[in-house]
Amino acid sequence: MVAREVARRRTFAIISHPDAGKSTMTEALALHARMISEAGAIHGKAGRRSTVSDWMEMEKARGISVSSTALQLNYRLDGPDSDDITVINLVDTPGHADFSEDTYRVLTAVDAAVMLIDAAKGLEPQTLKLFQVCRHRGIPIITIVNKWDRPGRTPLELIDEISERIGLTPTPLYVPVGIAGDFKGLLDRTTGNYIRFTRTAGGATIAPEELLDADAALAKEGDDWINAVEESELLSEMGQDHDQEMFLAGQTSPMIFSSAMLNFGVRQLLQTLVELAPPPQGRAAIDETVREVTDPFSAVVFKVQAGMDSSHRDRLAYMRIVSGEFERGMVVTHAQTGKPFATKYAQAMFGQTRATVDTAYPGDVVGLVNAMALAPGDTLYVDTKVQYPPIPSFAPEHFSMLRAESAGKYKQFRKAIDQLDSEGVVQVLRNDIRGDASPVLAAVGPMQFEVVTARMKTEFGVDTSFQPLPYTLARRTDAASADELGRQRGVEVFTRTDGAMLALVSDKWRLQYIEKEHSDLTLEPLVATAD
Q: Quick one: fold of 283-381? A: Rossmann fold (3.40.50)
Look at residues 98, 115, 142 and name the one whose alpha carbon lies nearest to residue 446: 98
Q: How confident is the model at residue 397 (pLDDT cuts 50, 70, 90)?
A: confident
Q: What is the average pLDDT across 64-85?
A: 73
Please say if the pLDDT value at position 96 is more than 60.
Answer: no
pLDDT of residue 528: 47
CA distance linking residue 29 with residue 216, whole number of Å: 29
CA distance linking residue 268 with residue 485, whole number of Å: 58
Residue 92 and residue 291 in contact, taking contact as beta carbons nearer than 8 Å: no
Q: What is the pLDDT of residues 435-470, one digit of tens each?
A: 888 899 998 888 888 888 988 898 889 999 999 999
Please say if the pLDDT value at position 59 is more than 50.
Answer: no
CA distance linking residue 245 with residue 163, whole number of Å: 18
Q: How confident is the model at residue 99 (pLDDT cuts 50, 70, 90)?
A: low
Q: Which residues pair with 196 in a beta bridge?
A: 185, 210
pLDDT of residue 54: 44
Least confident of 285-294, 301-310, 383-392, 494-503: 301-310
pLDDT of residue 120: 96
Annotated binding site: 92-96
pLDDT of residue 44: 35
Largest CA distance in the chain: 81
Which percentage of the chain shows pLDDT scores above 90?
Answer: 61
Q: Give the torsion through C-alpha atoms of 362, 363, 367, 372, to 10 deg.
A: 70
Q: CB-based burial of residue 517 (10 Å sphere; 0-12 exposed, 13-18 middle, 19+ buried)?
A: exposed
Residue 229 and residue 241 in contact, taking contact as beta carbons nearer than 8 Å: no
On average, the pLDDT of the chain sits at 87
Q: What is the 3-state secondary structure (H, E, C) of 401-416?
A: EEEECCHHHHHHHHHH
Please say if the pLDDT value at position 507 is more than 90.
Answer: yes
Residue 35 and residue 73 in contact, taking contact as beta carbons nearer than 8 Å: yes
Domain ranges within the chain, ordered by starting residue: 2-276, 283-381, 398-525
Q: What is the pLDDT of residues 204-226, one digit of tens each?
A: 899 999 999 999 999 999 999 99
Q: Which helix (H) or strand (E) holds 92?
A: strand 85-92
Please say if the pLDDT value at position 274 is more than 50.
Answer: yes
Q: What is the pLDDT of residues 350-361, one digit of tens each?
A: 656 778 899 999
Q: CB-based burial of residue 256 (10 Å sphere; 0-12 exposed, 13-18 middle, 19+ buried)?
A: buried
Comparing 461 with 23, the larger pLDDT belongs to: 461
Please say if the pLDDT value at position 64 is more than 70.
Answer: no
Q: What is the pLDDT of residues 34-58, one digit of tens each?
A: 877 676 533 333 333 444 444 445 4
Are both 2-276 and 283-381 of the same fold? yes
pLDDT of residue 43: 37
Comparing 79 with 67, the larger pLDDT belongs to: 79
Look at residues 502, 511, 501, 426 and name the one whose alpha carbon lies nearest to residue 464: 426
Q: What is the pLDDT of residues 145-193, one digit of tens each?
A: 999 999 999 999 999 999 999 999 999 999 999 999 999 999 999 999 9
Spacing of C-alpha 197 from chain mean position: 30
pLDDT of residue 91: 85
CA distance linking residue 44 with residue 23, whole number of Å: 13
For 398-525, CATH gives 3.30.70.3280
Torsion region of 461: left, alpha or beta (phi above 0 gives left; psi -120 to 50 gives alpha): left
CA distance linking residue 217 with residue 47, whole number of Å: 39
Residue 423 and residue 451 in contact, taking contact as beta carbons nearer than 8 Å: no
CA distance linking residue 527 with residue 530, whole number of Å: 9
Q: Which helix (H) or strand (E) holds 157?
A: helix 155-166
pLDDT of residue 268: 97
Q: Quick one: fold of 2-276? A: Rossmann fold (3.40.50)
Grouping H, G, I as helix, E, B as strand and the rest as coil, residue 187 is strand
DSSP secondary structure string for all residues of 412-464: HHHHHHHHHHHHTSSEEEE-TTT-TTSPEEEESSTHHHHHHHHHHHHHH---E
pTM above threshold 0.85 = no
Q: What is the pLDDT of residues 122-148, one digit of tens each?
A: 998 878 878 888 888 899 999 999 999
Q: Could you tell me how many residues make up the chain?
A: 531
Provide the H-helix boundaries in 329-402. none
Look at residues 433, 531, 513 and name the one whose alpha carbon lies nearest to residue 523: 513
pLDDT of residue 100: 65
pLDDT of residue 526: 82
Per DSSP, the chain holds a count of helices (H) and strands (E) of 14, 31
What Rg do the C-alpha atoms of the chain give, in angstroms? 25
Residue 257 and residue 174 in contact, taking contact as beta carbons nearer than 8 Å: yes
CA distance linking residue 158 with residue 146, whole number of Å: 12
CA distance linking residue 166 with residue 169, whole number of Å: 9
CA distance linking residue 220 with residue 444, whole number of Å: 52
Residue 241 and residue 171 in contact, taking contact as beta carbons nearer than 8 Å: yes
Compute how many other C-beta atoms are within 10 angstroms of the C-beta atom of residue 411. Answer: 11
Which amino acid would we find at residue 480?
A: A
Q: How confident is the model at residue 66 (pLDDT cuts 50, 70, 90)?
A: very low
Q: What is the pLDDT of residues 234-254, one digit of tens each?
A: 999 999 999 999 999 999 999
Annotated binding site for GTP: 92-96
pLDDT of residue 103: 77
Q: What is the DSSP letter of 207?
A: P
Q: What is the pLDDT of residues 468-487, one digit of tens each?
A: 999 999 999 999 999 999 99
Q: What is the average pLDDT across 381-386?
A: 96
Please say if the pLDDT value at position 19 is more than 70.
Answer: yes
Which amino acid would we find at residue 303?
A: K
Comparing 92 with 303, the larger pLDDT belongs to: 303
